[in-house]
Homo-oligomer: A and B are copies of this chain.
Amino acid sequence: VKTRTIALLGCGTVGRGLVELIERNRSLIAERSGVDLRISKILVRDLAKERGGVDRSLLTVCPEEAVANGADVVVEVIGGLDPARRLVEDALDAGKHVVTANKALLADCGPELFRRAAERRVRIGFEASVGGGIPVVRALSSGLAGNRIERICGILNGTCNYILTRMAEEGLSFESALSEAQAKGFAEADPALDIDGTDAGHKLQILAGLAFGRSLGRGSVRVEGIRALDREDFEAAAYLGFVIRHLAVGRDLGGALDLRVHPALLPKDHPLAHIRHENNAILLKGDAVGEMVFHGRGAGGAPTASAVLSDIIDLARHGTGPALRIPDSEPAEPADPESERYFRFPVIDAPGVIGLIATALGNHRISISHASATLVSGKADQGSVRILAHACRASVARKAVDEIARLPVLTGRPVALSIESND
């Protein structure tokens, strides 16, 4: 049994979860993996704050003290860019392996950090950055290492999925569903990162980099959140045989990469249609392995601590092998994906409204497969026209929506969702 010491940066939900997990399973880990794990120091901002179950003598507010002290691995669970970026850089420069759950950091400056780690001959473990406890980074980098990955389709943000489940199943408004998610502790400190799709975008950037072997800079993922969705959309989706999920989609189209995060309609028998509440799921399609789905708890202290711990154990076992890194090659050109689409146009009740919209779509060669309208006379702000359209390119749909949005009969911003078939 070899001892490995850990400097822990941050002591929030994940940090405390890790301390507790190492304590509880110490002998099991030693027996199974031959490693005895010791936490040497814990960097916090506030020494006085109550932290149940954590040995106060380990706490420090001084980064240098946390990282020095002979730590073998530095675990960063602070989140965000500042001061996490600087602390991780300093740890790498000091020749320490780093394990991080920080998707924003990796999405923002992954290539620089991996380069720095390679120069110092140390490694960065990041299983915890995507999918909580689901070992999807390992699946892509090791379990499916012989496959050409053709497609990723994931539910990567538990808060969004919780809100969508509650809106669909209980008819809750967006606001009440969000409050529930916050009360249950799923939402990030700033819920905008969740509900505007930024968090899922960061995670897709990490997965797609691994899967497709391309560098993915800022802006390579087109991101849309779930704020615009309305009760009517859930009713229309259910009526038409779909569910609404916030998806992260990555497809390798040969030259171009199709990378996007947005709410979408899924047929009820799609493998991700059953994923409810705060759960995460990732569908991977490899050329040899076919379609594979992983699902489980995508967030929370204990599942994320499980992923962090798996990286710490792997570093202790294989610390000298080649490093896993997100590639740093030429960025891919963006794709203009084709799919069937759903549109909702909020409109006033006026003669000719449906014709106006249908004609505008037709002008863009968007062909309608199903249309329904609810126009409430006397209540100008409550009507809507819902359209299901045959496959068209994303750029065409955007242009048509922008044009229709300017029509004087519109009372609000149109909603456009792609339909993700399981092809």
Contacts and interface: CB of A to CB of B under 8 A. Distances in A.
Interface of A: 17, 21-22, 24-25, 28-29, 31-34, 127, 132-135, 138-139, 142-148, 213, 271, 274, 286-297, 302-303, 305-307, 309-310, 312-314, 317-318, 320-322
A32 B293 contact: no
19 contacts: A21-B288, A22-B146, A24-B148, A25-B148, A28-B148, A28-B213, A133-B288, A138-B139, A143-B307, A144-B306, A144-B310, A145-B313, A146-B310, A286-B306, A291-B296, A291-B297, A318-B318, A318-B321, A321-B321
A287 B321 contact: no
Given A32-B145, A135-B138, A147-B25, A306 B322 contact: no
Nearest to A139: B135
Nearest to A292: B296
Contact of A314 (B25, B145, B287, B296): B145
Given A138-B142, A139-B135, A302 B321 contact: no
Q: What 4 A-B pairs come out closest when comparing CB atoms?
A: A135-B143, A146-B309, A292-B296, A133-B289
Interface-central residue, A144, A288, A289, by most chain B CB under 10 Å:
A288
Nearest to A309: B146
A213 B146 contact: no
Given A25-B146, A288-B133, A294 B293 contact: yes
Given A21-B146, A145-B29, A294-B294, A302 B320 contact: no
A302 B144 CA distance: 12
Contacts of A290: 133, 296-297, 302-303
Nearest to A28: B148
Nearest to A285: B296
Given A34-B322, A138-B135, A317-B322, A143 B292 contact: no
B138 A287 contact: no
Contacts of A147: 25, 306
